Amino acid sequence: MSQNLLSGMSAFPLVLLLCILNVPTATHSLPLSPSGYLNNTLPHTESNSLTLKEDIKCYALPFGAFGFISHLMTYWTIALNAEGLSPWRFKKLKHKKRNKLLAVGQLLWTVAMAIYTMANCHRRWQFIVMGFWHLTLSITLSIVSIMGGAENIPDPLYTTGIYAVGVIVGIPGLISLVVETWKVPHVQGLTTTWAAILVVFGFTGTLFSKQLHQSTLVMLPATIAATCAFFSDWLYAAIAGNYWGVPNDAHLNKFISITYFIAKRLPFSLTLNN
């Protein structure tokens, strides 16, 4: 039963993305192909950083410092839960029903809020694909927490594979935003810093490996996957001019952002063995 559940969760992100890409808008009916949708919604020459600053108000997920902290805690929780440990007491977790309920609660709320954000930002394909990327991270966190540790997951593709799909889908949107906002204050500095981090950490592993070529192929993509979420947090903040990262001009978005952050912490409180 658990394996059937994992199979369904692994297929869900791609099915959802196809559905979001085919939501009709008030101005036109969208084609059934994702590529056709992106062509219709891709910003043209009249789009600039000013309109993007207005468009980003649709985005309801945490970004900036708020998102950075959220991602730090999410990665920490995944790493400890994958070892079957409590993220805050470093003791062995017991595979209990209440732990599953907490993980499922996190999954339902964060996925629902990511779907809302993707639909709300349908005029900007970059926000859709990056919202999808955050959705896959939520699913990865839930799978590890529901199964009670990596040793209970039959195939690593159910975790790393799902998030890898999210990164591959989201990276084009991230690059597009960087290109479009290159002259926005701090974007160049943020991008240069991220590139330096990729060079330092991505190639550090090669210094300690005899298999230089293979270690580079592993370390660089892994560093990109691990750090691009943090980079996107600060990129959004620079575009919005809001480095704290909690929406300040839409009560619903503020509610979603805060409750999303709280829901993401549910697996952080999984109960212990004793």
pLDDT digits (tens), the chain, 274 positions: 444 444 444 444 544 454 544 444 333 334 444 444 444 444 443 444 558 888 898 999 999 999 999 999 999 988 888 887 878 777 777 666 777 888 899 999 999 999 999 999 988 999 999 999 999 999 988 888 877 666 677 666 667 788 889 999 999 999 999 999 998 889 999 999 999 988 887 666 666 555 545 555 666 777 888 899 999 999 999 999 999 998 877 788 999 999 999 999 888 776 544 3
pLDDT at res. 218: 66
Q: How many residues does the chain have?
A: 274
Tokens describing residue 254: 């503020």
Nearest CA-CA partner of 78 in 153, 144, 170, 33: 144
- Please give the pLDDT value at position 45: 34
pTM above 0.95, yes or no: no
Angle subtended at Cα 129 by Cα 128 and Cα 132, rounded to the nearest 5 degrees: 90
- What are the Cα distances from residue 3, in Å, to 42, 154, 162? 38, 7, 15
CA distance 138 to 75: 10
Q: What is the pLDDT, as a whole number, of residue 177?
A: 94
pLDDT at 85: 80
